[in-house]
A and B are shown apart, each in its own frame.
Chain A
Amino acid sequence: MSPLDWTVLIGTLTTIILYGVWKSRGQQNLDSYFLDNQSMPWYIILLSIIGTQASAITFISAPGQAYTDGMRFVQYYFGLPLAMVVLCITFVPIFHKLKVYTAYEYLEQRFDLKTRTLASTLFLIQRGLSTGISICAPSIILSSLLGWNLYWTNMIMGGLLIIYTVVGGTRAVAYTQTFQLIIIFSGMFLAGWMVVHLLPPDVGFKQALQVSGKMDKLNVIVTKFDWKDKYNIWSGIIGGFFLALSYFGTDQSQVGRYLTAKSVKESRMGLLMNGLVKVPMQFLILLIGAMVFVFYLYFRAPIFFNEAQLARAHKTEQGPALLKLEDQYTELGKVKQQQVKQLAAALEAGNNAQADIAKKELQQTDVKATVIRTEALSLIKASDPTADTSDTNYIFLHFVVNSLPKGLVGLLIAIIFLAAWGSIAAALNSLASTTVVDVYQRLYNANASPGHYLMISRLWTLIWGVFCIVVAQFAGSLGSLIEVVNVLGSWFYGVTLGIFLVAFYLKKVGGTATFWAAIISEIVVLVVYWIGAVSFLWLNAIGCLLVLLLAWVFHQFCAPAQPREIA
Protein backbone atom coordinates (compact mmCIF):
# COMPACT_ATOMS: atom_id res chain seq x y z
CA MET A 1 0.00 0.00 0.00
CA SER A 2 1.14 3.55 -0.73
CA PRO A 3 1.66 6.23 1.96
CA LEU A 4 -1.63 7.80 0.85
CA ASP A 5 -3.44 4.48 1.40
CA TRP A 6 -1.90 4.15 4.86
CA THR A 7 -2.96 7.70 5.69
CA VAL A 8 -6.55 7.04 4.58
CA LEU A 9 -6.65 3.71 6.45
CA ILE A 10 -5.22 4.99 9.73
CA GLY A 11 -7.20 8.25 9.51
CA THR A 12 -10.50 6.43 8.97
CA LEU A 13 -9.97 3.93 11.79
CA THR A 14 -8.79 6.61 14.22
CA THR A 15 -11.80 8.79 13.41
CA ILE A 16 -14.18 5.92 14.15
CA ILE A 17 -12.52 5.14 17.49
CA LEU A 18 -12.58 8.81 18.56
CA TYR A 19 -16.19 9.15 17.44
CA GLY A 20 -17.10 6.00 19.40
CA VAL A 21 -15.41 7.30 22.55
CA TRP A 22 -17.07 10.71 22.13
CA LYS A 23 -20.47 9.03 21.87
CA SER A 24 -19.73 6.99 25.02
CA ARG A 25 -20.51 9.73 27.53
CA GLY A 26 -23.22 9.43 30.16
CA GLN A 27 -23.28 5.71 31.01
CA GLN A 28 -24.59 5.22 34.56
CA ASN A 29 -26.31 1.85 34.81
CA LEU A 30 -27.41 -1.23 32.87
CA ASP A 31 -30.27 0.68 31.24
CA SER A 32 -27.95 3.19 29.66
CA TYR A 33 -25.12 0.71 28.97
CA PHE A 34 -27.14 -2.06 27.31
CA LEU A 35 -30.33 -0.28 26.17
CA ASP A 36 -29.23 3.37 25.84
CA ASN A 37 -32.29 4.09 28.02
CA GLN A 38 -34.43 2.87 25.11
CA SER A 39 -33.96 6.15 23.25
CA MET A 40 -32.96 5.14 19.70
CA PRO A 41 -34.94 6.29 16.64
CA TRP A 42 -35.81 3.81 13.92
CA TYR A 43 -33.13 4.88 11.44
CA ILE A 44 -30.34 4.22 13.98
CA ILE A 45 -31.97 0.83 14.71
CA LEU A 46 -32.02 0.10 10.97
CA LEU A 47 -28.36 0.98 10.44
CA SER A 48 -27.35 -0.88 13.60
CA ILE A 49 -29.18 -4.02 12.45
CA ILE A 50 -27.54 -3.82 9.03
CA GLY A 51 -24.14 -3.08 10.55
CA THR A 52 -24.42 -6.07 12.89
CA GLN A 53 -25.41 -8.50 10.13
CA ALA A 54 -22.97 -7.23 7.48
CA SER A 55 -19.57 -8.44 8.60
CA ALA A 56 -16.27 -7.98 6.78
CA ILE A 57 -16.86 -11.26 5.00
CA THR A 58 -20.12 -9.87 3.55
CA PHE A 59 -18.22 -7.22 1.65
CA ILE A 60 -15.26 -9.46 0.78
CA SER A 61 -17.11 -12.64 -0.08
CA ALA A 62 -20.32 -11.51 -1.82
CA PRO A 63 -18.61 -9.94 -4.88
CA GLY A 64 -16.42 -13.05 -5.15
CA GLN A 65 -19.54 -15.21 -4.92
CA ALA A 66 -21.06 -13.33 -7.89
CA TYR A 67 -17.79 -13.70 -9.80
CA THR A 68 -17.72 -17.48 -9.42
CA ASP A 69 -21.38 -18.44 -9.19
CA GLY A 70 -23.36 -15.47 -10.45
CA MET A 71 -25.82 -13.30 -8.58
CA ARG A 72 -28.21 -16.05 -7.47
CA PHE A 73 -26.83 -15.77 -3.93
CA VAL A 74 -29.24 -12.83 -3.46
CA GLN A 75 -32.11 -15.35 -3.21
CA TYR A 76 -30.63 -16.40 0.15
CA TYR A 77 -32.12 -13.12 1.52
CA PHE A 78 -35.66 -13.54 0.17
CA GLY A 79 -36.92 -15.00 3.46
CA LEU A 80 -35.62 -12.03 5.45
CA PRO A 81 -38.46 -9.55 4.74
CA LEU A 82 -41.01 -12.21 5.71
CA ALA A 83 -39.10 -12.87 8.95
CA MET A 84 -39.15 -9.12 9.69
CA VAL A 85 -42.95 -9.14 9.47
CA VAL A 86 -43.24 -12.12 11.85
CA LEU A 87 -40.80 -10.48 14.28
CA CYS A 88 -42.81 -7.27 14.28
CA ILE A 89 -46.05 -9.11 14.95
CA THR A 90 -44.81 -11.54 17.61
CA PHE A 91 -41.34 -10.96 19.07
CA VAL A 92 -41.00 -7.18 19.25
CA PRO A 93 -44.14 -6.32 21.29
CA ILE A 94 -43.41 -9.06 23.82
CA PHE A 95 -39.74 -8.14 24.32
CA HIS A 96 -40.55 -4.44 24.63
CA LYS A 97 -43.48 -4.69 26.96
CA LEU A 98 -41.63 -7.03 29.31
CA LYS A 99 -38.76 -4.47 29.30
CA VAL A 100 -36.12 -7.19 29.01
CA TYR A 101 -32.39 -6.59 28.51
CA THR A 102 -31.93 -9.90 26.70
CA ALA A 103 -34.19 -12.21 24.72
CA TYR A 104 -33.51 -15.01 27.21
CA GLU A 105 -35.06 -13.11 30.14
CA TYR A 106 -38.42 -13.67 28.49
CA LEU A 107 -37.89 -17.44 28.67
CA GLU A 108 -37.81 -17.35 32.47
CA GLN A 109 -41.01 -15.34 32.58
CA ARG A 110 -42.66 -17.75 30.13
CA PHE A 111 -41.04 -21.02 31.29
CA ASP A 112 -38.48 -21.20 34.10
CA LEU A 113 -34.90 -20.41 35.08
CA LYS A 114 -33.36 -23.58 33.66
CA THR A 115 -34.77 -22.94 30.17
CA ARG A 116 -33.51 -19.35 30.26
CA THR A 117 -30.07 -20.49 31.40
CA LEU A 118 -29.93 -23.18 28.70
CA ALA A 119 -30.78 -20.74 25.88
CA SER A 120 -28.34 -18.09 27.12
CA THR A 121 -25.57 -20.70 27.50
CA LEU A 122 -26.10 -21.95 23.94
CA PHE A 123 -25.90 -18.35 22.76
CA LEU A 124 -22.71 -17.61 24.70
CA ILE A 125 -20.94 -20.70 23.32
CA GLN A 126 -22.01 -20.11 19.73
CA ARG A 127 -21.56 -16.35 19.59
CA GLY A 128 -18.28 -16.36 21.56
CA LEU A 129 -16.63 -18.87 19.23
CA SER A 130 -18.09 -17.50 16.00
CA THR A 131 -17.04 -13.93 16.87
CA GLY A 132 -13.47 -15.16 17.30
CA ILE A 133 -13.66 -16.79 13.89
CA SER A 134 -15.22 -13.61 12.44
CA ILE A 135 -12.11 -11.73 13.55
CA CYS A 136 -9.78 -14.28 12.02
CA ALA A 137 -11.50 -14.74 8.61
CA PRO A 138 -10.88 -11.23 7.19
CA SER A 139 -7.50 -11.07 8.97
CA ILE A 140 -6.25 -14.12 7.11
CA ILE A 141 -7.30 -12.64 3.76
CA LEU A 142 -5.79 -9.20 4.46
CA SER A 143 -2.57 -10.61 5.88
CA SER A 144 -2.22 -12.93 2.88
CA LEU A 145 -2.92 -10.22 0.29
CA LEU A 146 -0.87 -7.46 1.89
CA GLY A 147 1.84 -9.53 3.56
CA TRP A 148 0.83 -8.42 7.05
CA ASN A 149 1.55 -10.41 10.19
CA LEU A 150 -1.59 -12.45 11.03
CA TYR A 151 -1.12 -12.09 14.81
CA TRP A 152 -1.11 -8.28 14.64
CA THR A 153 -3.87 -8.14 12.05
CA ASN A 154 -6.05 -10.17 14.43
CA MET A 155 -5.13 -7.81 17.27
CA ILE A 156 -6.17 -4.73 15.26
CA MET A 157 -9.23 -6.40 13.74
CA GLY A 158 -10.57 -7.48 17.14
CA GLY A 159 -8.75 -5.20 19.55
CA LEU A 160 -9.22 -1.52 18.73
CA LEU A 161 -13.01 -1.62 18.74
CA ILE A 162 -12.87 -2.88 22.34
CA ILE A 163 -11.90 0.67 23.39
CA TYR A 164 -15.23 2.27 22.50
CA THR A 165 -17.34 -0.86 23.07
CA VAL A 166 -16.13 -1.20 26.68
CA VAL A 167 -16.54 2.49 27.47
CA GLY A 168 -19.73 3.31 25.60
CA GLY A 169 -21.76 0.09 25.45
CA THR A 170 -24.75 -0.09 23.12
CA ARG A 171 -24.83 3.64 22.37
CA ALA A 172 -21.25 3.69 21.11
CA VAL A 173 -21.86 0.49 19.12
CA ALA A 174 -24.98 1.85 17.39
CA TYR A 175 -23.60 5.30 16.54
CA THR A 176 -20.26 3.99 15.27
CA GLN A 177 -22.15 1.43 13.16
CA THR A 178 -24.12 4.30 11.61
CA PHE A 179 -20.95 6.23 10.79
CA GLN A 180 -19.23 3.05 9.60
CA LEU A 181 -22.06 2.20 7.21
CA ILE A 182 -21.97 5.67 5.64
CA ILE A 183 -18.26 5.15 4.90
CA ILE A 184 -18.81 1.54 3.78
CA PHE A 185 -21.61 2.40 1.33
CA SER A 186 -19.65 5.37 -0.04
CA GLY A 187 -16.58 3.18 -0.58
CA MET A 188 -18.56 0.34 -2.17
CA PHE A 189 -20.30 2.81 -4.48
CA LEU A 190 -16.90 4.20 -5.52
CA ALA A 191 -15.56 0.67 -6.07
CA GLY A 192 -18.59 -0.21 -8.22
CA TRP A 193 -18.20 2.97 -10.24
CA MET A 194 -14.45 2.37 -10.65
CA VAL A 195 -14.81 -1.19 -11.92
CA VAL A 196 -17.06 0.03 -14.76
CA HIS A 197 -14.80 3.04 -15.34
CA LEU A 198 -11.73 0.78 -15.64
CA LEU A 199 -13.27 -1.30 -18.43
CA PRO A 200 -12.05 -0.52 -21.99
CA PRO A 201 -13.34 2.86 -23.26
CA ASP A 202 -15.81 1.28 -25.70
CA VAL A 203 -17.41 -0.87 -22.97
CA GLY A 204 -20.06 0.90 -20.93
CA PHE A 205 -22.26 -0.29 -18.08
CA LYS A 206 -24.92 -1.61 -20.48
CA GLN A 207 -22.41 -3.65 -22.50
CA ALA A 208 -20.85 -4.94 -19.27
CA LEU A 209 -24.29 -6.09 -18.12
CA GLN A 210 -24.94 -7.77 -21.47
CA VAL A 211 -21.60 -9.62 -21.42
CA SER A 212 -22.04 -10.61 -17.79
CA GLY A 213 -25.56 -11.85 -18.51
CA LYS A 214 -24.43 -13.87 -21.51
CA MET A 215 -21.83 -15.53 -19.27
CA ASP A 216 -24.62 -16.50 -16.81
CA LYS A 217 -23.47 -14.18 -14.02
CA LEU A 218 -26.78 -12.28 -13.81
CA ASN A 219 -28.76 -15.39 -12.87
CA VAL A 220 -30.56 -13.61 -10.01
CA ILE A 221 -33.62 -15.88 -10.04
CA VAL A 222 -33.35 -19.66 -10.26
CA THR A 223 -36.81 -21.24 -10.22
CA LYS A 224 -35.77 -24.90 -10.54
CA PHE A 225 -36.16 -26.74 -7.23
CA ASP A 226 -33.27 -28.92 -6.14
CA TRP A 227 -32.66 -30.18 -2.57
CA LYS A 228 -28.92 -30.10 -3.14
CA ASP A 229 -28.89 -26.59 -4.63
CA LYS A 230 -28.32 -24.03 -1.88
CA TYR A 231 -29.41 -20.96 -3.84
CA ASN A 232 -32.75 -21.07 -5.61
CA ILE A 233 -35.91 -19.10 -4.98
CA TRP A 234 -37.51 -21.87 -2.90
CA SER A 235 -34.59 -22.51 -0.56
CA GLY A 236 -34.15 -18.72 -0.33
CA ILE A 237 -37.71 -18.03 0.75
CA ILE A 238 -38.25 -21.07 3.01
CA GLY A 239 -34.74 -21.72 4.36
CA GLY A 240 -33.90 -18.02 4.44
CA PHE A 241 -37.06 -17.32 6.42
CA PHE A 242 -36.17 -19.76 9.22
CA LEU A 243 -32.56 -18.61 9.29
CA ALA A 244 -33.52 -14.91 9.46
CA LEU A 245 -36.21 -15.60 12.07
CA SER A 246 -33.78 -17.40 14.36
CA TYR A 247 -30.99 -14.88 13.79
CA PHE A 248 -33.07 -11.72 14.31
CA GLY A 249 -35.46 -13.20 16.86
CA THR A 250 -33.24 -15.23 19.19
CA ASP A 251 -29.65 -14.05 18.72
CA GLN A 252 -28.97 -11.39 21.33
CA SER A 253 -26.48 -9.63 19.03
CA GLN A 254 -29.51 -8.62 16.91
CA VAL A 255 -32.22 -8.56 19.60
CA GLY A 256 -29.99 -6.18 21.60
CA ARG A 257 -30.09 -3.71 18.69
CA TYR A 258 -33.86 -3.29 18.42
CA LEU A 259 -34.42 -3.43 22.18
CA THR A 260 -32.73 -0.01 22.32
CA ALA A 261 -35.56 1.61 20.34
CA LYS A 262 -37.60 4.21 22.18
CA SER A 263 -40.85 2.40 21.42
CA VAL A 264 -42.35 -0.67 19.76
CA LYS A 265 -43.11 1.58 16.81
CA GLU A 266 -39.44 2.55 16.33
CA SER A 267 -38.31 -1.09 16.64
CA ARG A 268 -40.87 -2.18 14.08
CA MET A 269 -39.96 0.59 11.67
CA GLY A 270 -36.25 -0.30 11.92
CA LEU A 271 -36.96 -3.98 11.22
CA LEU A 272 -39.46 -3.32 8.43
CA MET A 273 -37.09 -0.88 6.73
CA ASN A 274 -34.44 -3.60 6.97
CA GLY A 275 -36.93 -5.85 5.16
CA LEU A 276 -37.24 -3.21 2.44
CA VAL A 277 -33.56 -2.37 1.91
CA LYS A 278 -31.66 -5.60 2.60
CA VAL A 279 -32.43 -7.44 -0.66
CA PRO A 280 -31.64 -4.47 -2.96
CA MET A 281 -28.47 -3.82 -0.96
CA GLN A 282 -27.23 -7.38 -1.43
CA PHE A 283 -28.20 -7.18 -5.11
CA LEU A 284 -25.96 -4.13 -5.60
CA ILE A 285 -23.02 -5.70 -3.75
CA LEU A 286 -23.33 -8.81 -5.92
CA LEU A 287 -23.60 -6.64 -9.03
CA ILE A 288 -20.14 -5.28 -8.23
CA GLY A 289 -18.87 -8.88 -8.33
CA ALA A 290 -20.55 -9.45 -11.71
CA MET A 291 -18.77 -6.32 -13.01
CA VAL A 292 -15.44 -7.53 -11.60
CA PHE A 293 -16.01 -10.73 -13.59
CA VAL A 294 -16.35 -8.66 -16.79
CA PHE A 295 -13.24 -6.70 -15.82
CA TYR A 296 -11.22 -9.92 -15.64
CA LEU A 297 -12.51 -10.99 -19.05
CA TYR A 298 -10.85 -7.91 -20.55
CA PHE A 299 -7.75 -7.96 -18.34
CA ARG A 300 -5.47 -10.72 -17.09
CA ALA A 301 -6.88 -12.78 -14.22
CA PRO A 302 -4.50 -14.84 -12.09
CA ILE A 303 -4.98 -18.59 -12.14
CA PHE A 304 -5.50 -18.42 -8.36
CA PHE A 305 -6.51 -15.20 -6.60
CA ASN A 306 -4.77 -16.05 -3.32
CA GLU A 307 -1.37 -15.12 -4.71
CA ALA A 308 0.49 -15.63 -1.44
CA GLN A 309 -0.61 -19.28 -1.45
CA LEU A 310 0.34 -19.50 -5.13
CA ALA A 311 3.79 -18.09 -4.39
CA ARG A 312 4.31 -20.69 -1.66
CA ALA A 313 3.35 -23.45 -4.12
CA HIS A 314 5.90 -22.08 -6.62
CA LYS A 315 8.66 -22.78 -4.12
CA THR A 316 7.81 -26.48 -3.84
CA GLU A 317 8.46 -29.31 -6.28
CA GLN A 318 5.07 -28.57 -7.86
CA GLY A 319 6.39 -25.14 -8.92
CA PRO A 320 7.56 -25.92 -12.50
CA ALA A 321 4.34 -27.74 -13.41
CA LEU A 322 2.35 -24.89 -11.89
CA LEU A 323 4.23 -22.29 -13.94
CA LYS A 324 3.49 -24.25 -17.09
CA LEU A 325 -0.22 -24.27 -16.28
CA GLU A 326 -0.13 -20.55 -15.54
CA ASP A 327 1.38 -19.88 -18.99
CA GLN A 328 -1.40 -21.90 -20.62
CA TYR A 329 -4.01 -20.06 -18.52
CA THR A 330 -2.58 -16.67 -19.54
CA GLU A 331 -2.66 -17.65 -23.23
CA LEU A 332 -6.30 -18.70 -22.90
CA GLY A 333 -6.96 -15.38 -21.15
CA LYS A 334 -5.69 -13.56 -24.25
CA VAL A 335 -8.01 -15.65 -26.43
CA LYS A 336 -10.90 -14.79 -24.11
CA GLN A 337 -10.07 -11.09 -24.39
CA GLN A 338 -10.50 -11.30 -28.17
CA GLN A 339 -13.66 -13.36 -27.89
CA VAL A 340 -15.30 -11.05 -25.35
CA LYS A 341 -14.63 -8.10 -27.68
CA GLN A 342 -16.40 -10.00 -30.47
CA LEU A 343 -19.28 -10.80 -28.14
CA ALA A 344 -19.61 -7.16 -27.03
CA ALA A 345 -19.50 -5.95 -30.65
CA ALA A 346 -22.22 -8.42 -31.68
CA LEU A 347 -24.39 -7.39 -28.72
CA GLU A 348 -23.86 -3.70 -29.49
CA ALA A 349 -24.86 -4.29 -33.12
CA GLY A 350 -27.92 -6.23 -32.01
CA ASN A 351 -26.74 -9.24 -34.00
CA ASN A 352 -28.12 -12.06 -31.84
CA ALA A 353 -26.94 -14.89 -34.10
CA GLN A 354 -23.36 -13.58 -34.02
CA ALA A 355 -23.64 -12.97 -30.28
CA ASP A 356 -24.68 -16.59 -29.69
CA ILE A 357 -21.71 -17.85 -31.71
CA ALA A 358 -19.31 -15.56 -29.83
CA LYS A 359 -20.86 -16.63 -26.52
CA LYS A 360 -20.37 -20.33 -27.31
CA GLU A 361 -16.75 -19.76 -28.32
CA LEU A 362 -16.11 -17.76 -25.17
CA GLN A 363 -17.74 -20.43 -23.01
CA GLN A 364 -15.67 -23.17 -24.69
CA THR A 365 -12.48 -21.25 -23.95
CA ASP A 366 -13.71 -20.69 -20.40
CA VAL A 367 -14.23 -24.45 -19.96
CA LYS A 368 -10.64 -25.08 -21.12
CA ALA A 369 -9.40 -22.42 -18.69
CA THR A 370 -11.42 -24.02 -15.88
CA VAL A 371 -9.83 -27.41 -16.58
CA ILE A 372 -6.36 -25.88 -16.37
CA ARG A 373 -7.29 -24.00 -13.19
CA THR A 374 -8.58 -27.23 -11.62
CA GLU A 375 -5.26 -28.91 -12.37
CA ALA A 376 -3.45 -25.96 -10.82
CA LEU A 377 -5.61 -26.22 -7.68
CA SER A 378 -4.65 -29.90 -7.40
CA LEU A 379 -0.99 -28.92 -7.56
CA ILE A 380 -1.48 -26.24 -4.90
CA LYS A 381 -3.20 -28.81 -2.67
CA ALA A 382 -0.40 -31.31 -3.33
CA SER A 383 2.17 -28.66 -2.40
CA ASP A 384 0.36 -27.94 0.87
CA PRO A 385 -2.35 -30.36 2.05
CA THR A 386 -3.64 -27.72 4.52
CA ALA A 387 -4.12 -25.10 1.75
CA ASP A 388 -7.64 -23.75 1.18
CA THR A 389 -8.11 -24.01 -2.59
CA SER A 390 -11.21 -21.81 -2.61
CA ASP A 391 -10.14 -18.30 -3.60
CA THR A 392 -13.63 -16.75 -3.78
CA ASN A 393 -12.88 -14.44 -0.84
CA TYR A 394 -9.72 -13.12 -2.46
CA ILE A 395 -11.22 -12.04 -5.80
CA PHE A 396 -12.66 -8.66 -4.84
CA LEU A 397 -9.71 -7.59 -2.69
CA HIS A 398 -7.29 -8.73 -5.43
CA PHE A 399 -9.12 -6.35 -7.75
CA VAL A 400 -9.04 -3.58 -5.12
CA VAL A 401 -5.35 -3.90 -4.32
CA ASN A 402 -4.15 -4.32 -7.91
CA SER A 403 -6.51 -2.14 -9.93
CA LEU A 404 -7.89 0.75 -7.87
CA PRO A 405 -6.08 4.11 -7.58
CA LYS A 406 -4.05 5.13 -4.54
CA GLY A 407 -6.17 6.33 -1.66
CA LEU A 408 -9.17 4.27 -2.68
CA VAL A 409 -7.24 1.09 -1.84
CA GLY A 410 -6.72 2.42 1.70
CA LEU A 411 -10.41 3.31 1.94
CA LEU A 412 -11.52 -0.15 0.80
CA ILE A 413 -9.17 -1.83 3.29
CA ALA A 414 -10.57 0.49 5.98
CA ILE A 415 -14.06 -0.65 4.97
CA ILE A 416 -13.11 -4.25 5.69
CA PHE A 417 -12.02 -3.24 9.20
CA LEU A 418 -15.12 -1.10 9.77
CA ALA A 419 -17.47 -3.84 8.61
CA ALA A 420 -15.71 -6.28 10.95
CA TRP A 421 -15.82 -3.82 13.84
CA GLY A 422 -19.55 -3.17 13.42
CA SER A 423 -20.53 -6.81 13.79
CA ILE A 424 -17.85 -7.69 16.38
CA ALA A 425 -18.75 -4.70 18.61
CA ALA A 426 -22.43 -5.73 18.60
CA ALA A 427 -21.41 -9.32 19.40
CA LEU A 428 -19.23 -8.26 22.36
CA ASN A 429 -22.00 -6.02 23.67
CA SER A 430 -24.52 -8.87 23.45
CA LEU A 431 -22.13 -11.41 25.01
CA ALA A 432 -21.58 -9.02 27.93
CA SER A 433 -25.31 -8.29 28.38
CA THR A 434 -26.17 -12.00 28.39
CA THR A 435 -23.35 -12.81 30.82
CA VAL A 436 -24.21 -10.02 33.22
CA VAL A 437 -28.03 -10.09 33.04
CA ASP A 438 -28.72 -13.81 32.52
CA VAL A 439 -25.86 -15.27 34.54
CA TYR A 440 -24.12 -12.85 36.94
CA GLN A 441 -27.09 -10.75 38.09
CA ARG A 442 -29.64 -13.57 37.97
CA LEU A 443 -27.60 -16.37 39.54
CA TYR A 444 -24.87 -14.77 41.64
CA ASN A 445 -25.48 -11.15 42.62
CA ALA A 446 -29.00 -9.79 42.33
CA ASN A 447 -28.80 -6.79 44.68
CA ALA A 448 -25.73 -4.78 43.77
CA SER A 449 -25.67 -1.06 43.00
CA PRO A 450 -26.17 0.31 39.43
CA GLY A 451 -22.52 1.43 39.43
CA HIS A 452 -21.36 -2.09 40.30
CA TYR A 453 -23.34 -3.64 37.42
CA LEU A 454 -21.98 -1.01 35.04
CA MET A 455 -18.43 -1.83 36.12
CA ILE A 456 -19.06 -5.58 35.77
CA SER A 457 -20.63 -5.05 32.32
CA ARG A 458 -17.56 -3.16 31.11
CA LEU A 459 -15.31 -5.84 32.58
CA TRP A 460 -17.22 -8.62 30.77
CA THR A 461 -17.14 -6.69 27.49
CA LEU A 462 -13.36 -6.57 27.88
CA ILE A 463 -13.12 -10.26 28.88
CA TRP A 464 -15.18 -11.35 25.86
CA GLY A 465 -13.09 -9.13 23.60
CA VAL A 466 -9.90 -10.78 24.80
CA PHE A 467 -11.50 -14.24 24.56
CA CYS A 468 -12.53 -13.65 20.93
CA ILE A 469 -9.04 -12.45 19.98
CA VAL A 470 -7.55 -15.57 21.59
CA VAL A 471 -10.00 -17.75 19.60
CA ALA A 472 -9.01 -15.82 16.44
CA GLN A 473 -5.33 -16.60 17.02
CA PHE A 474 -6.11 -20.34 16.95
CA ALA A 475 -8.86 -20.29 14.31
CA GLY A 476 -6.52 -20.01 11.33
CA SER A 477 -6.01 -23.76 11.24
CA LEU A 478 -9.75 -24.62 11.02
CA GLY A 479 -10.00 -24.60 7.21
CA SER A 480 -12.84 -22.70 5.53
CA LEU A 481 -13.77 -20.26 8.29
CA ILE A 482 -17.02 -19.07 6.72
CA GLU A 483 -18.27 -22.62 6.67
CA VAL A 484 -17.08 -23.16 10.26
CA VAL A 485 -19.15 -20.13 11.38
CA ASN A 486 -22.20 -21.39 9.49
CA VAL A 487 -21.83 -24.91 10.90
CA LEU A 488 -21.43 -23.53 14.43
CA GLY A 489 -24.60 -21.46 14.03
CA SER A 490 -26.51 -24.42 12.62
CA TRP A 491 -25.67 -26.52 15.69
CA PHE A 492 -27.54 -24.10 17.97
CA TYR A 493 -29.85 -21.78 16.01
CA GLY A 494 -32.54 -24.35 15.25
CA VAL A 495 -32.88 -25.51 18.86
CA THR A 496 -32.95 -21.94 20.20
CA LEU A 497 -35.60 -20.91 17.67
CA GLY A 498 -37.59 -24.01 18.63
CA ILE A 499 -37.58 -22.93 22.29
CA PHE A 500 -38.90 -19.47 21.38
CA LEU A 501 -41.55 -20.85 19.02
CA VAL A 502 -42.81 -23.18 21.76
CA ALA A 503 -42.95 -20.15 24.06
CA PHE A 504 -44.96 -18.09 21.58
CA TYR A 505 -47.22 -20.63 19.93
CA LEU A 506 -47.60 -23.72 22.19
CA LYS A 507 -48.95 -21.79 25.14
CA LYS A 508 -49.93 -24.81 27.24
CA VAL A 509 -46.44 -26.37 27.10
CA GLY A 510 -44.38 -25.68 30.22
CA GLY A 511 -40.70 -25.21 31.02
CA THR A 512 -39.72 -28.75 31.94
CA ALA A 513 -41.11 -30.25 28.73
CA THR A 514 -39.40 -27.54 26.66
CA PHE A 515 -36.10 -27.83 28.52
CA TRP A 516 -35.78 -31.59 27.97
CA ALA A 517 -37.02 -31.29 24.41
CA ALA A 518 -34.24 -28.76 23.77
CA ILE A 519 -31.56 -30.91 25.44
CA ILE A 520 -32.51 -34.02 23.45
CA SER A 521 -32.87 -32.04 20.21
CA GLU A 522 -29.43 -30.51 20.68
CA ILE A 523 -27.90 -33.96 21.15
CA VAL A 524 -29.74 -35.24 18.06
CA VAL A 525 -28.55 -32.24 16.00
CA LEU A 526 -24.94 -32.86 17.02
CA VAL A 527 -25.21 -36.60 16.30
CA VAL A 528 -26.86 -35.97 12.90
CA TYR A 529 -24.02 -33.59 12.03
CA TRP A 530 -21.36 -35.98 13.34
CA ILE A 531 -22.57 -38.95 11.25
CA GLY A 532 -22.90 -36.64 8.21
CA ALA A 533 -26.51 -37.61 7.47
CA VAL A 534 -27.48 -34.23 5.94
CA SER A 535 -25.93 -30.95 4.86
CA PHE A 536 -25.42 -28.64 7.85
CA LEU A 537 -27.96 -26.15 6.42
CA TRP A 538 -30.74 -28.56 7.31
CA LEU A 539 -29.73 -28.70 10.98
CA ASN A 540 -31.62 -25.42 11.63
CA ALA A 541 -34.90 -26.91 10.49
CA ILE A 542 -34.26 -30.28 12.18
CA GLY A 543 -33.41 -28.67 15.54
CA CYS A 544 -36.39 -26.29 15.44
CA LEU A 545 -39.00 -28.87 14.42
CA LEU A 546 -37.65 -31.46 16.85
CA VAL A 547 -37.96 -29.08 19.81
CA LEU A 548 -41.56 -28.25 18.82
CA LEU A 549 -42.47 -31.92 18.41
CA LEU A 550 -40.72 -33.24 21.53
CA ALA A 551 -41.96 -30.38 23.71
CA TRP A 552 -45.53 -31.15 22.66
CA VAL A 553 -45.03 -34.93 23.25
CA PHE A 554 -43.38 -34.40 26.67
CA HIS A 555 -46.14 -32.01 27.62
CA GLN A 556 -48.64 -34.86 27.26
CA PHE A 557 -46.73 -36.76 29.99
CA CYS A 558 -45.86 -33.82 32.26
CA ALA A 559 -48.06 -32.37 34.97
CA PRO A 560 -49.99 -29.41 33.56
CA ALA A 561 -47.87 -26.26 33.70
CA GLN A 562 -48.99 -23.51 36.05
CA PRO A 563 -50.26 -20.64 33.93
CA ARG A 564 -47.74 -17.77 34.05
CA GLU A 565 -48.99 -14.23 33.87
CA ILE A 566 -46.98 -12.28 31.32
CA ALA A 567 -47.96 -8.66 31.53
Chain B
Amino acid sequence: MALDQQPEEKPPLFPTWGYWYALVIAWLLLLIVLFYLFTKTFS
Protein backbone atom coordinates (compact mmCIF):
# COMPACT_ATOMS: atom_id res chain seq x y z
CA MET B 1 0.00 0.00 0.00
CA ALA B 2 1.41 3.41 -0.94
CA LEU B 3 2.23 5.86 1.83
CA ASP B 4 -0.44 8.40 1.10
CA GLN B 5 -3.12 5.69 0.93
CA GLN B 6 -2.67 4.48 4.50
CA PRO B 7 -5.57 5.28 6.86
CA GLU B 8 -5.01 8.25 9.18
CA GLU B 9 -5.22 7.97 12.96
CA LYS B 10 -8.11 10.03 14.29
CA PRO B 11 -7.06 13.07 16.33
CA PRO B 12 -8.25 13.71 19.88
CA LEU B 13 -11.23 16.06 20.41
CA PHE B 14 -11.91 16.80 16.74
CA PRO B 15 -13.17 14.57 13.90
CA THR B 16 -10.22 15.34 11.58
CA TRP B 17 -6.72 16.80 11.77
CA GLY B 18 -7.88 19.73 9.66
CA TYR B 19 -9.65 21.13 12.72
CA TRP B 20 -6.44 21.01 14.72
CA TYR B 21 -4.52 22.78 11.94
CA ALA B 22 -7.26 25.43 11.76
CA LEU B 23 -7.10 25.83 15.55
CA VAL B 24 -3.32 26.43 15.48
CA ILE B 25 -3.64 29.00 12.68
CA ALA B 26 -6.62 30.69 14.37
CA TRP B 27 -4.69 30.82 17.67
CA LEU B 28 -1.77 32.48 15.88
CA LEU B 29 -4.10 35.06 14.33
CA LEU B 30 -5.74 35.70 17.71
CA LEU B 31 -2.33 36.20 19.34
CA ILE B 32 -1.30 38.64 16.62
CA VAL B 33 -4.51 40.65 17.15
CA LEU B 34 -4.04 40.61 20.95
CA PHE B 35 -0.39 41.62 20.62
CA TYR B 36 -1.39 44.43 18.27
CA LEU B 37 -3.92 45.71 20.82
CA PHE B 38 -1.31 45.32 23.57
CA THR B 39 1.19 47.38 21.55
CA LYS B 40 -1.39 50.10 20.82
CA THR B 41 -2.67 50.21 24.41
CA PHE B 42 0.71 50.73 26.02
CA SER B 43 2.50 52.79 23.36
Contact = CB atoms under 8 A, between A and B. Distances in A.
B32 A78 contact: yes
Given A216-B43, A566-B3, 4 more contacts: A81-B27, A82-B25, A85-B21, A265-B11
Contacts of A210: 42
B39 to A, nearest CB: 5
Given A82-B28, A279-B28, A218 B2 contact: no
A221 B21 contact: no
Interface string A397-422: 00000000000000000000000000
A404 to B, nearest CB: 26
Contacts of A259: none
Given A212-B42, A213-B42, A567 B28 contact: no
Contact of B3 (A85, A94, A275): A94
B38 A218 contact: yes
Chain B interface size band reads: 20 to 34
A97 B25 contact: no
A539 interface: no
A269 B10 CA distance: 11
Contacts of A89: 17, 21
Contact of A81 (B10, B24, B35): B24
Interface of B: 1-3, 6, 8-12, 17, 20-21, 23-25, 27-28, 31-32, 35-36, 38-39, 41-43
Contact of A280 (B9, B31, B41): B31
Contacts of A279: 28, 31
> Which 4 pairs show the lowest CB-CB distances between chains A and B?
A213-B42, A220-B35, A265-B9, A218-B42
Nearest to A566: B3
Interface string A87-99: 0110001100110
A140 B2 CA distance: 52
Contacts of A520: none
A362 interface: no
A276 B24 contact: yes
B9 A263 contact: yes
Contacts of A216: 43
